[in-house]
Amino acid sequence: MFKKEVYITRRDRLKRELKSGIALFPGNEEAAFNYPANQYHFRQDSHFLYFFGLDHPGFAGVIDVDNDKEYIFGNDFDIEDIIWMGVQPKVADLAAEVGITNTAPMNNLATFIADAMKAGRQIHFLPPYRGETMIHLSQLLNTSIDEVKNGASVELIKGVVKLKEVKDEYEIAEIEKAVDIAYLMHTTAMKMAMPGIVEQEIAGTIEGISLALGGPVSFPVILSMDGQTLHNHYHGNTLVEGRMMVTDAGSETQLHYSSDITRTVPVGGKFNTRQAEIYQIVLDTNLKAIEAIKPGVPYRDIHFLAARVIVDGLKKAGLMKGDTEAAVEAGAHTLFMPHGLGHMMGMDVHDMEGLGEDYVGYDETVTRSDQFGTAYLRLAKALKPGFVLTVEPGYFIPALIDKFRNEGKFMDFINYDKVETYKDFGGIRIEDDVLVTDTGNRVLGKPIPKTIEEVEKTMAEPREWIRMDGFI
Q: Report yes or no: 307 and 292 within 8 Å, Cβ to Cβ.
A: no
Give the shortest CB-431-to-Mn ion separation in angstroms.
5
Q: Is 357 in the site for ligand GLY (CB under 6 A)?
A: no
What is the DSSP secondary structure assignment for residue 88, as one 8-state letter? -
Per-residue binding string, Mn ion, 413-432, x by CB under 5 A, is ------------------x-
Give the shortest CB-351-to-Mn ion separation in angstroms.
10
Task: Give residues with Cβ within 8 angstroms of 42, minimum separation 6.
Answer: 28, 30, 31, 55, 56, 57
| CA–CA separation, 139 and 173 (whole Å) | 39
- If the CB atoms of residues 138 and 262 are measured against ligand GLY, the closer one turns out to be 262
| CA–CA separation, 178 and 351 (whole Å) | 14
Give the shortest CB-186-to-ligand GLY separation in angstroms.
13
CA angle 467/45/28 to nearest 5° reads: 110
Q: Is 390 in the site for Mn ion (CB under 5 A)?
A: yes
Q: Report yes or no: 397 and 338 within 8 Å, Cβ to Cβ.
A: yes
- If the CB atoms of residues 60 and 217 are measured against ligand GLY, the closer one turns out to be 217
Helix (H, G, I), strand (E, B) or coil at 288: helix
Cα Rg of the chain (Å, integer): 24
Give the shortest CB-343-to-ligand GLY separation in angstroms.
6
Per-residue binding string, ligand GLY, 327-346, x by CB under 6 A, is ----------------x---
Per-residue binding string, ligand GLY, 285-324, x by CB under 6 A, is ----------------------------------------
Which residue in 70, 174, 392, 433 binds ligand GLY (CB under 6 A)?
392
What is the DSSP secondary structure assignment for residue 286, as one 8-state letter? H
Q: How many residues does the chain have?
A: 472
Q: Report yes or no: 156 and 65 within 8 Å, Cβ to Cβ.
A: no
Q: Which region, judged by CB under 5 A, interacts with Mn ion, from 53-61, 234-242, 380-388, 390-398?
A: 390-398
Give the shortest CB-250-to-ligand GLY separation in angstroms.
7
- If the CB atoms of residues 77 and 219 are measured against ligand GLY, the closer one turns out to be 219
| CA–CA separation, 355 and 128 (whole Å) | 9
| CA–CA separation, 234 and 220 (whole Å) | 11
Q: Report yes or no: 51 and 4 within 8 Å, Cβ to Cβ.
A: no
Task: Give residues with Cβ within 8 angstroms of 239, minimum separation 6.
Answer: 193, 194, 195, 196, 197, 198, 199, 225, 245, 267
| Window 404 to 463, contacts with ligand GLY (CB under 6 A) | 431
Which residue in 248, 252, 348, 433 binds Mn ion (CB under 5 A)?
248
Q: What is the DSSP string of 325-339?
A: HHHHHHTGGGGT--S
Q: Which does 219 bind (CB under 5 to 8 A by kind): Mn ion, ligand GLY, none?
A: ligand GLY
* H-state helical runs in 193-272: 199-213
Q: Which does 207 bind (CB under 5 to 8 A by kind): Mn ion, ligand GLY, none?
A: none
Which residue in 2, 57, 208, 219 binds ligand GLY (CB under 6 A)?
219
Give the shortest CB-317-to-ligand GLY separation in angstroms.
25
- If the CB atoms of residues 327 and 377 are measured against ligand GLY, the closer one turns out to be 377
The footprint of ligand GLY on this chain (CB under 6 A) covers a number of residues equal to: 6
Q: Is 248 in the site for ligand GLY (CB under 6 A)?
A: yes
Residues in contact with ligand GLY by the rule CB under 6 A = 219, 248, 260, 343, 392, 431
Residues in contact with Mn ion by the rule CB under 5 A = 248, 260, 390, 431
